[in-house]
Amino acid sequence: MIRIVLVDDQEMVRTGLRTLAEHDGDIAVVAEAGSGRSGLGAVRQFEPDVVLMDIRMPDMDGLKATEQIVADPDLANVRILILSTFDEDEHVFEAIRLGAAGYLLKDVTPSDLRNAIRTIAAGDSLLSPSITRKVMQSVAATRPVKADPRVWEELTEREREVLEQIGRGLSNEEIASNLFISPATARTYVSRLLAKLNVRDRAQLVVLAYETGLVTPGG
């Protein structure tokens, strides 16, 4: 059973999400919260597998709550899935940089919602190629390069190629096809990149690819 906490300031939204999430019987909502602060308390109390986190909330927003959850070593196994609207692109980018495992648009279909929760609970990141490109490209156009360029000295040419593909929102299977390697080899490269760049998941590799200019808007 996948245990989740819902954090959204709109009760109707939480009610709808609960109904949709629990439909198939393998996902259970263990707590709900209407603000980032109360959500943080619920996460600390129940230690769920996944948190569905809204961004704009009173008392403490979803970004601050995400940052505090990720920074807490006692919550290392908790994964955060951001709920957003298209007008929150920059906030979504920041949430992923802070450690969220992925994001969903609030008009997501019921089946996509449940599959997203399962994906995040399994330890993967939720990076839909089309939405990833839209969000990352629109935000990267106005953000300066942050990462120390010396970090790339540790990467091989092939690792840079794989990172570029990740930054474009491609899956391991798509990377394998584009670079003429096997999916297993693609997964190995992803694992190496996570270790070398000291990031926690694939979502943050996407952020790094954009922040360093390896992938550029429209490129």
CATH architecture type of domain 143-211: Orthogonal Bundle (1.10)
**pLDDT value at position 149?**
61
- Span 98-111, mean pLDDT? 84
CATH of 2-126, one of 2.40.50.360, 3.40.50.2300, 3.30.70.1140, 3.40.50.720: 3.40.50.2300
What are the tens digits of pLDDT across the range 141-191?
A: 555 555 556 667 788 999 999 998 888 778 788 899 999 999 899 989 998
The structure's pTM equals 0.73
Beta partners for 28? 3
Domain limits, the chain = 2-126, 143-211
Q: For helices 157-167 and 183-197, give the axis angle rounded to 10 degrees.
A: 100
**Residue 139, pLDDT score:** 55
Q: Which of 1-15, 45-59, 152-166 shows the lowest per-residue confidence on average (mean pLDDT)?
A: 152-166
pLDDT at site 218: 56
Amino acid code (one letter) for 107: D
- Find the DSSP H helices in the chain: 11-21, 36-46, 62-71, 89-98, 110-121, 129-140, 157-167, 172-179, 183-197, 202-211
Q: What is the pLDDT of residue 15?
A: 94
At 128, the pLDDT band (50, 70, 90 cuts) reads low
